[in-house]
Amino acid sequence: MSKKNIVIGIVGPTNSGKSTLLNNIIGEKLSIVTHKAQTTRSGLRGLKIIDDTQMVFIDTPGIFNAKTKFEKAMLENAFGILDDVDLVYLLIDCKKSLDSLDDIFVEKINKIKHKTFLLLNKIDLIHRSQLLEIVKKYNDFIKFKETFLISAISGDGVKNLLEISNKESSLGPWLYPEDQIADTSMSLIASEITREKVFLFVHEEVPYLSTVETDSWKSSKNNSVTVEQTIFVGRKNHLGIVLGKGGKMIKTIGIAARIDLEKILEQKVNLKINVKFKKNWADKEEHYENIGLSFSDKKEN
């Protein structure tokens, strides 16, 4: 059997469902999924094998109006993959209008429309009679290679999408071992899972001014692993918010993160989380490198 491979980038506006789609395709929790915008910070890669084809999926930060250095690094990460992948999934919430798309992003998509599949997501939330009109509007705007109507959360239309995508693959060796589901280290995935819980349980601006790093990962002979993490917050008053009264909030975050980790690893996890204040952490190069973003020391305007 001749092996084939294909690399697919998943891009789109914030909250369009990119991470949900990736998790649905892979069947594992690899990417952060919350109701808040801009939660995916770096491109997490998930792998799926269909017949003789290995499919490599790259999830990217949502497209939004970036202002800070950290936000701009997130967008550079999203834009940077477009030229290097074999196929692009442009995921759009079908309830959103064309006006909601960023002009620079539209310009970039126009240049690679020949390898871009338009995925209109959340079709379960809109009347079917409206879908054909929405499809026409988007394709009159940009002539996409193909258009698909899907529901990332239920999986409706995803099987057909993968079958058509498979036809775009090329002959060549698989890029990763057969039993691997991601090329992202488990320590980074663990950090993302905990950061997701911060977004879920902590409100206001706190999650956006925080990051999570996995400090150590130690496996034991009794089929368990001990993971130590640090949540860095950007303001001193956020320490108490993340810890919560009597440590209740950090305990809630830790329990939820541990449960997800145990499902993925299929073993007992001892999760220890510290919370530290680090002024201007988003200006420190090491925090960019730890989550796969490029650091620039250029001053913001």
pLDDT-based confidence at residue 88 (cuts at 50, 70, 90)? very high
Lowest mean pLDDT among 78-82, 175-179, 294-298: 294-298
pLDDT higher at 64 or 212: 212
pLDDT higher at 211 or 255: 255
Residue 193 contacts by C-beta under 8 Å, 6 or more apart in sequence? 29, 32, 257, 260, 261
Looking at the predicted structure, is the pLDDT value of residue 24 above 60?
yes
Looking at the predicted structure, is the pLDDT value of residue 34 above 50?
no
The β-bridge partners of 212 are 231
pLDDT higher at 208 or 22: 22
pLDDT at 260: 85
Q: What's the rounded mean pLDDT across residues 15-27?
A: 84
pLDDT at 61: 64
Looking at the predicted structure, is the pLDDT value of residue 148 above 90?
yes
pLDDT at 281: 60
pLDDT at 182: 56
Looking at the predicted structure, is the pLDDT value of residue 270 above 50?
yes
Q: Report pLDDT digits (tens) over 217-263.
A: 898 888 898 999 999 888 888 889 999 999 999 999 999 999 988 88
Structure tokens belonging to residue 235: 């303001």
Nearest to 122, CA basis, from 13, 29, 8: 13
Stated pTM of the model: 0.62
pLDDT higher at 119 or 61: 119
Q: Which domains does the chain have, with CATH numbers?
A: 4-171 (3.40.50.300), 186-290 (3.30.300.20)
pLDDT at 184: 56
pLDDT higher at 5 or 266: 5
Lowest mean pLDDT among 75-89, 170-184, 233-247: 170-184
pLDDT at 63: 55
Nearest to 266, CA basis, from 181, 159, 145, 166: 181
Please give the mean pLDDT across all residues of the chain: 80
pLDDT at 37: 43
